[in-house]
Amino acid sequence: MTCGVDRRVASQSTYVPMGPMLTDTNLRRRFYYIVVSTWYYDMTSYYGDSESVTSVPPPYSMYDPNDTGAQQAFSHPQSYTNYGAYPRQPSGIPSAIGTRMNYTAAVDTRYQARNDADERAPLIDRTSGNPDAKPKDDSTVPWAWASVVLLLFAVTCIAAIIASNQTHRVGELNAHVEELNKRMKDYPPTPGELEELRRDYDIVRAAHEQDYKTWDATRTAYKADEERWLKARNDYFELRIDEGNLLGLSWRQVESHECVAFGTRAVTARLAVNKAEACRHMPIVVDGIAVDEPHDGETFAGRWNVGNVTACRPHWGGLNDKGCIGQGSGKHRFEARLWDIHNGDWMAMCSTSPQEINGQVFEHPTHCESRTR
């Protein structure tokens, strides 16, 4: 503002009503009046010529706080003090001389100039909004749209798959319903048809019963053949024994030893005649069981492994589940203690004793180990 200067300052402060000093029709006026600052003008003289009077650069103006009709919008607060002449009022009456006037400015930070070329340069930067705010980054917008498109595509594919499965299922159900409807056309069957069904059922049932009888007869015949074979074998051994006895050969001092396998015990006997050939060929009967030639033949001693010995049948204790032995191996480990073993033959008995686990029979364990507890 340009005006004459006078150093005299009035001691009295009053508010002088003032109208708007300028009008800018190119501004969008949204009146959010916030009192932010105060201007002080010490008016000590008024010269009245137009050269000493200039308007405040737009979009600034001042108003009396008590006069609501004179409120104008400001884009940014500014505070200053001028001395000298002040422009005329709208009524043509000059401002008071020698009076200190206190004015208040209101600010709307949302104002934007529609035509900056027609405005004179403001006193300060008129940038609206928060000057510290960062500009909006639009680089993420394409990626956001791409994500939305991909999500919609995935949802569409899933919906198509579900719809296809449901359509296929509905088709199967419809076909089943049609088949049932065709069968229901002839339902219920007539008494003649029921009688025919009963006859067919009786024929099938009689055929099954005949099969059962045939299987039982075959099983009985097999057992009879097995018994006859065992009897013939024993008769043959007894015949050989009789022949040996006729030759003066016989086994004496029959002794039982340790178990050598599950259900098998070692038995020794001494031949009464010193004939090596007789030792190799003479069988023996032990506990009513005929045994072929000895496994070991010395000059006058033989050794046999006799099976089906009850005393050589140890049993396994309770199973301890040790879980899987390796990831992806498909093997499960179980442990059990072997009971009713004698004379230090635990290794031979353990390695030949069978066990049933979950319906599966194992002829022998994977490995044996002697533990104190």
Based on the fold, state whether residues 255 and 351 are members of the same structural domain: no
d(C-alpha 6, C-alpha 165), whole Å: 95
Classify residue 35: in a domain, yes or no: yes
Q: Quick one: pLDDT at residue 220? A: 93
Q: Quick one: pLDDT at residue 270? A: 83
Based on the fold, state whether residues 79 and 20 are members of the same structural domain: yes
Based on the fold, state whether residues 298 and 328 are members of the same structural domain: no
SS3 10: coil
Based on the fold, state whether residues 278 and 342 are members of the same structural domain: no
C-alpha distances out from residue 266 to 237, 255, 259, Å: 19, 9, 6
Classify residue 143: in a domain, yes or no: no
- At 159-184, the pLDDT tens digits run 999 988 888 888 888 888 888 777 76
Quickly state the pLDDT bin for 315 (edges 50, 70, 90).
confident
Looking at residue 361, its amino acid is V
Looking at residue 308, its amino acid is N
Kindly report the average pLDDT of the chain as a whole number: 67
**pLDDT score of 134 more than 70:** no
Structure tokens of 89? Answer: 């009022």
DSSP type of residue 101: E
Structure tokens of 312? Answer: 């050589």
d(C-alpha 229, C-alpha 224), whole Å: 9
Classify residue 261: in a domain, yes or no: yes
Based on the fold, state whether residues 85 and 13 are members of the same structural domain: yes
C-alpha distances out from residue 192 to 25, 187, 189, Å: 106, 13, 8
Classify residue 168: in a domain, yes or no: no
Residue 369 half-sphere exposure toward CB, CA atoms < 13 A: 7
Q: Quickly count helices (H) and strands (E) in the chain.
A: 4, 17
Based on the fold, state whether residues 90 and 119 are members of the same structural domain: yes
Q: Into how many domains does the chain fold?
A: 3
Classify residue 107: in a domain, yes or no: yes
Q: Which of 289, 312, 335 is the last residue of a domain?
A: 312
Looking at residue 373, its amino acid is R
d(C-alpha 215, C-alpha 24), whole Å: 117
Q: Quick one: pLDDT at residue 284? A: 77
Based on the fold, state whether residues 296 and 323 are members of the same structural domain: no
Based on the fold, state whether residues 349 and 253 are members of the same structural domain: no
Instruction: Find tokens 């033989």 and name the residue.
Output: 302
Domain hosting 254: range is 248-312
Classify residue 367: in a domain, yes or no: no
Cβ neighbours of residue 7 closer than 8 Å, sequence gap 6 or more: 44, 83
- At 10-39, the pLDDT tens digits run 333 333 444 444 344 444 343 333 333 333
Based on the fold, state whether residues 260 and 358 are members of the same structural domain: no
Based on the fold, state whether residues 104 and 11 are members of the same structural domain: yes
Based on the fold, state whether residues 44 and 88 are members of the same structural domain: yes
Please compute the mean of the pLDDT values over residues 335-342 and round it to a whole number.
82
Q: Quick one: pLDDT at residue 294? A: 65
Classify residue 344: in a domain, yes or no: yes
pTM (2 d.p.): 0.28
d(C-alpha 322, C-alpha 336), whole Å: 11
Classify residue 195: in a domain, yes or no: no
Of the ranges 59-68, 221-230, 245-254, 258-267, which one carries the lowest mean pLDDT score? 59-68
Based on the fold, state whether residues 253 and 356 are members of the same structural domain: no
Structure tokens of 361? Answer: 């029979």
